[in-house]
Amino acid sequence: MEQIRRIKREILARGAITTYCRDTMLLPDGKTADWDLVDHNGAAAIVAVHEDGRLILVRQYRNALERETIEIPAGGLNRNPDGSKEDTKLAALRELKEETGYEAQDAELLLSIYTTVAFCNEKIDIYLATGLKRHGAQHLDEDEYVNVEYYTLEALQKKIFACEIQDAKTVAGILAYAAKNN
């Protein structure tokens, strides 16, 4: 296939976590097309396994869906003082602590996903956390309202296949964890 390349990027809007762009693309036949892009800094998520084998998830309201969702702990990458992106493992561990009050002795990369490749470059590294210890209370952002919940792997798989859990990072993380443990 001949190369498709961007010849122009116009920033249409900047939000708190994304930038909305219009890219003008040069196509193999010499024509151009305008494509939308949602530019995202990236995120990290964590499948947290309690010592009793249950997984720790969070329930929170999501404006885009206008309802509550059940998700693995996750959050966007912060910027370091030098402008570089925060390490994804550190971000995943930070989110686990902030959203659930748990710390992990260890975390290993389980998988990486791109959430919506047709128009968004958001990449989420998903970690597996073990050796959890309760650290204390949640440390939520001012606009976060998060409930901590515990589920068996089997219960979560049933919820996924009943379409009760539809969040991509959560589905991917739980199913990857299940495959790893088979």
Active site residues: 142
C-alpha–C-alpha distance, residues 135 and 137, integer Å: 7
Would you say how long the chain is, in residues? Answer: 182
Of the CA atoms within 13 Å of residue 164, those in its CB half-sphere come to 8
DSSP string covering 102-120, please? EEEEEEEEEEEEES-TTTB
Of the CA atoms within 13 Å of residue 129, those in its CB half-sphere come to 32
If you search the block for the tokens 């947290």, which residue do you land on?
48
Torsion sign, CA atoms 90, 94, 96, 97: positive
